[in-house]
């Protein structure tokens, strides 16, 4: 009779070739299948909004995130540059001139990186914004043309965000 090892990681028990798991691990795998079924029912019972946010999180962490250019913000060069900008600006929001804690400020491009890639690592094109100002600026950027974005200065953005 042809034999094989149990598929359970670390188990070395020999079983008939047409089976996947030994008797001990077959029970474990069956209980995992039941757990997956329970989790599926839990997800189905969630509100529509929560499921939508779950889908968004999965999308943001999927292979599509590279299309948005998120890899740039994971580089060592960007981490060093953003830290230097935070120290340069003394952790002060550029719009309301208030000092914020370490994790409350975002280093932002005045002229968006996707509009003018040559300014992506230009320190003069970077400034600090708190999360609220950054989100508002991003929403405004989405409604503007590329030419309008290229012409925007820090002073123009400050007027718009105040």
Rounded to an integer, the average pLDDT of 144-158 is 93
Rounded to an integer, the average pLDDT of 142-146 is 91
User: Does 7 share its domain with 74?
Assistant: no
Q: Considering its fold, how many domains does the chain have in total?
A: 2
User: Does 81 share its domain with 35?
Assistant: no
Domain containing 58 equals 3-67
Single out the residue in 47, 67, 87 at which a domain terminates. Answer: 67
pTM of the model: 0.59
pLDDT on residue 104: 87
User: Which string of DSSP letters, residue by residue, matches 90-136?
Assistant: TTB-TTT--B--TTSEEEEESS-TTT-GGGTT-GGGEEEEEHHHHHH
User: Does 103 share its domain with 137?
Assistant: yes
- Could you tell me how many residues make up the chain? 162
User: Does 23 share its domain with 80?
Assistant: no
Single out the residue in 67, 91, 122 at which a domain terminates. Answer: 67
pLDDT on residue 56: 53
User: Does 121 share its domain with 45?
Assistant: no
Rounded to an integer, the average pLDDT of 108-127 is 92
* Rounded CA separation 147/159 (Å): 19
User: Does 113 share its domain with 38?
Assistant: no
Conformation bin of residue 97: beta by default, left when phi > 0, alpha when psi is -120 to 50: left
Single out the residue in 40, 67, 94 at which a domain terminates. Answer: 67
Rounded to an integer, the average pLDDT of 127-146 is 92
pLDDT on residue 39: 82
User: Does 103 share its domain with 141?
Assistant: yes
Residue 94: pLDDT over 80: yes
Helix 154-161 / helix 131-143 crossing angle, nearest 10 deg: 100
User: Does 76 share its domain with 149?
Assistant: yes
Rounded to an integer, the average pLDDT of 32-58 is 71
* Rounded CA separation 124/143 (Å): 24
Q: Which of 66-75, 107-116, 139-148 has the lowest mean pLDDT?
A: 66-75
User: Does 11 share its domain with 90?
Assistant: no
User: Does 74 share its domain with 151?
Assistant: yes
Residue with tokens 């474990």, as numbered in its chain: 28
User: Does 49 share its domain with 105?
Assistant: no
pLDDT on residue 145: 92
pLDDT on residue 143: 92
Show the tokens assigned to 104. Answer: 């409350």
Confidence label for 67 from pLDDT (cuts 50, 70 and 90)? very low
Conformation bin of residue 14: beta by default, left when phi > 0, alpha when psi is -120 to 50: beta
């Amino acid at each position: 009779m042809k034999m094989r090892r149990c598929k359970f990681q670390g188990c070395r028990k020999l079983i008939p070739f047409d089976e996947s798991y030994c008797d001990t691990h077959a029970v474990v795998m069956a209980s995992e299948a039941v757990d997956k079924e329970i989790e599926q029912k839990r997800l189905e019972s969630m509100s529509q909004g929560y499921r939508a946010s779950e889908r968004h999180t999965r999308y943001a962490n999927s292979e599509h995130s590279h299309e948005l250019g998120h890899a740039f913000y994971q580089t060592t060069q960007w981490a060093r540059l953003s830290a230097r900008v935070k120290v340069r600006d003394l952790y002060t929001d550029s719009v309301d001139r208030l000092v914020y804690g370490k994790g409350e400020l975002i280093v932002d491009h005045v002229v968006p990186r996707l509009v003018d890639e040559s300014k992506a690592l230009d320190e003069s094109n970077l400034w600090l914004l708190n999360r609220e100002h950054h989100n508002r600026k991003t929403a405004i950027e989405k409604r503007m043309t590329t030419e309008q974005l290229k012409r925007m200065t820090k002073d123009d953005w400050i007027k718009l965000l105040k």
